[in-house]
Structure 1
Amino acid sequence: MIRQLRLPALALAVLLASGCAVIQPVVPAAAAPDAASAYIAGAFTRVSSGGFAFIARNADTGEEYALPLGADTPFPTDVENQVVAIKVPPGRYAITQWITYATLTKERITKSNITNAVLSEPFTVAPGSVTYLGNYSVTTTRAGTSMHFRISPKVVTSADARTGFLKAYPGFQSQSFACKLCVDTVLARVPRPAAAASSPAPAPSAVK
């Protein structure tokens, strides 16, 4: 998932300036789970180049919820494998886009479609449950007046993802947990070749 943005010299100032709020508040680490709500989460590594978020679209209502890729602060800092979660109404969702946004005002600046088939596949989040999108790194490179953004999945197992999530949200020990882009869940989707039919063993020779 790559995005190129051509900006003037004061590019970072643009990424900090005005507009309308689109970013969901991150669930506080000490929060207790709400049995009537669902949760979407992930872990993110990011350099301090602005705001990034995944857009989760409710398939029934069309409402969009933005999961920030790391802590949403007015002046973004570097984060390393930072786990964040947002609260959403239970239902069926799809991760349709990723966006850049102004960290001071939360205005959406750019948007790009999700091209990863596993990440973009619709999923259902039941009341009280957590869908963990996976671990991701966000990198920014600059070339003249252009900025190139790239979001890449990182290798993680469901067990390690859950351990990391519970370390960040210890109150969620009893919640149902499913990882969308973890190694084991992705491998489980790969069709396995049918076992070759075995020929009957030949009858043993008579002993003479």
Structure 2
Amino acid sequence: MVQGPDAAHHVSDPDALLGLSDEGSSALDEALAAALAHQPGDWILALPRPGRLGPLRGPLPLTRAALEAEAAVLPRAGGAAWIPARVGPAIQWRLVRADRPFPPVSSAEAEHALTEAVRAATGELDRLGMVSGRRPGGEGLELPPSYPARQRASAARAVRLAEACTVGLADESGLLHAHAMEIRARALRTLLNAALDSLEASCAWQAD
């Protein structure tokens, strides 16, 4: 489920955080087994952007690596964070030491904020006289069945909206003047941030 359509996933552990081989990359199954043995608690997703680090608390090497990759997966208790990098059709994960992250907001809270952001963005675009363009394909993210149904639905919705915003920000066709372009881009960026925040919260296992 982690690998999906990618050709392969490999994991490097340069600081021996999980005791993996220091002579190269380890297979994903081996690395996941080591992670579960060393860090059996819950995990969270971070999708950091400049000015919005989400749950990341540091240290600095982790923050820099996660910002560059725009993603990190880390234990709720801290330890070895996983930083992804695409290499052709494959993914190379690098393990980086992570401080205990800030607790994520609840999925329900993030979902509510996203709904409000959708309403605000729709209002801005309506005032500009913008019409909806082509929707990106796909059905969003499918979380494992062990997640609550509401979080699974929230994650799928967040991914669809994030993809739509990304497509919209790259498409400036039909805009008549610079002011309209600025308003539209600001509305889409705000909505994109809310969608990514909701995705972070939906993917985190909510503590009882």
TM-score range, shorter chain: under 0.3
Taking structure 1 as the reference length, the TM-score comes to 0.26
Higher helix share: 2
Higher relative contact order (CA 8 A, sep 6+): 1
Question: Which of these two proteins has the greater Rg computed from alpha carbons?
Answer: 1
